[in-house]
Amino acid sequence: MAPISKECDFLVIGGGSGGLACARRASGQWGAKTIAVESNRLGGTCVNVGCVPKKVTWNAAAIAETLHEAAAYGFNIKETGPFDFKTFKHKRDDYVKRLNGIYERNLEKDHVEYLHGRAHLLNKNEVEVVLHNGSKEIIRAKKILLATGGHPNIPNTPGAELGITSDGFFDLETLPKRVALVGAGYIAVEMAGMFHHLGSETHLFIRHETFLRTFDPMIQETIVKEYERQGLHIHRNSSQSKIEKKDDKWMTMHYTDKNSPNGSTLDIDCLLWAIGRSPEVEDLGLDKAGVNQDQKGHIIADDYQNTNVENIYSLGDVCGKIELTPVAIAAGRQLANRLFGGPEFKNAKLDYTNIPSVVFAHPEVGSIGMTEQEARDTFGDENVKIYKTDFTAMYYAMMPPEAKAPTAYKVICTGEEEKVVGLHILGSGSAEMLQGFGVAVKMGARKRDFDSCVAIHPTSAEELVTLK
């Protein structure tokens, strides 16, 4: 075995949001000698092929949507050319590159040594890093964090390699004419909405009757109906048997769905698989250190981010718990506090309950807490009270009936005090709205606390404090 070339207090494997947050807190605030290793670009999925470029693209799609709706307000807007997707794509890439640079400078500022390479565990304290230039380092660390994230799945369907994943979405240089997306989670739903509003004929293939099936049924039913109103093609109860290359640009999907149980075909120039993600652990060397995994390959970590191996910790998507960037960041900071912050932080950990989440669909979806069924299963039907409303936001007052998008809210309460245990919202502005209401739910708000807040008029959000 090669000699030890570096030693440190804390080795962080994975330069995504959670790993970097933990490394910076450990070194910058608590003075631990810290090394961070990343084999790709700094920032992980979120910065490079996730939240950040996704939201920029969603903004473009929302602008396109607004331009279309402007006529109802009396504007006569004539576009002098089609949407310049290529220019937009390159500007988006430049923005991401700037963020990569900022992340690297932040590591320097907090005195974290950064190695660009691929890490492999040798045992519970030693790691081999194959650097970008091909050389190797052997690092001995007192404590190790595994925060390697995940990657998109591709099915075993014949011809599946002709498609792309959410990663490949951000490499597209031109906007597809006709795109098929396979999947029913938030990635598929968000990207389907973006493709549609930017001008692609969009087909969404789902295995069941609705998508976003982990969300409250009100969300599922409303957003599916709205996507169909907007003109997206939803293929329910679908499966794909094979994908065939047609020519240099087009391919043919063979599939069945609710309307074509005996099979049909669709010619497309882009196929995007959004069928889930797997942990990035393939060559991590978990077996050499004795780190346990679950049946899906996720690293098993408790609420304090401990694995079964003393001095090895894990957080973020590689654990498969709640795969959201802010969750990984918060867990990383708490772990650094606990490991290096002294006695006062000995019990520091992230509270994984009541974490708000948003789907940047068209319109936006927001959720925190339990679904209605979860609440009924937990507390019993007799102890659950539901407040809900659906209406047309004032923004759509100037538009014809067929052009009006829905808004729908549901508040789930339990007990005599009507504690709010779930809040689900769909409609324009839901993402920004939920952050504030999320604080209230996290604090244990009751229905009467909502009622005691004077409404802001005219807004959609006021409906949440005036529910009857």
Residue 457 annotated as catalytic: yes
State how far the alpha carbon of 371 is from the alpha carbons of 347, 367, 410, 425, in Å.
30, 9, 9, 12
Task: Quote the CA–CA distance of 5 and 301 in Å, as a whole number.
Answer: 29
Using DSSP's 3-state secondary structure scheme, residue 373 falls into helix
Token couple for 413 = 């309460």
Token couple for 107 = 């590591």
Token couple for 48 = 């490079």
Check 120, 196, 424, 457 and give the catalytic one: 457
CA-derived radius of gyration, the chain = 24
Token couple for 9 = 């207090």
Maximum pairwise Cα distance, the chain: 74
Cα atoms in the Cβ-side hemisphere of radius 13 Å centred on 387: 20
Task: Quote the CA–CA distance of 323 and 352 in Å, as a whole number.
Answer: 11
Burial (CB count within 10 angstroms: exposed 0-12, middle 13-18, buried 19+), residue 330:
buried
3-state secondary structure 153-216: CCCCCCCHHHCECHHHHCCCCCCCCEEEEECCCHHHHHHHHHHHHHCCEEEEECCCCCCCCCCC
Using DSSP's 3-state secondary structure scheme, residue 410 falls into strand
- Residues marked as catalytic: 457
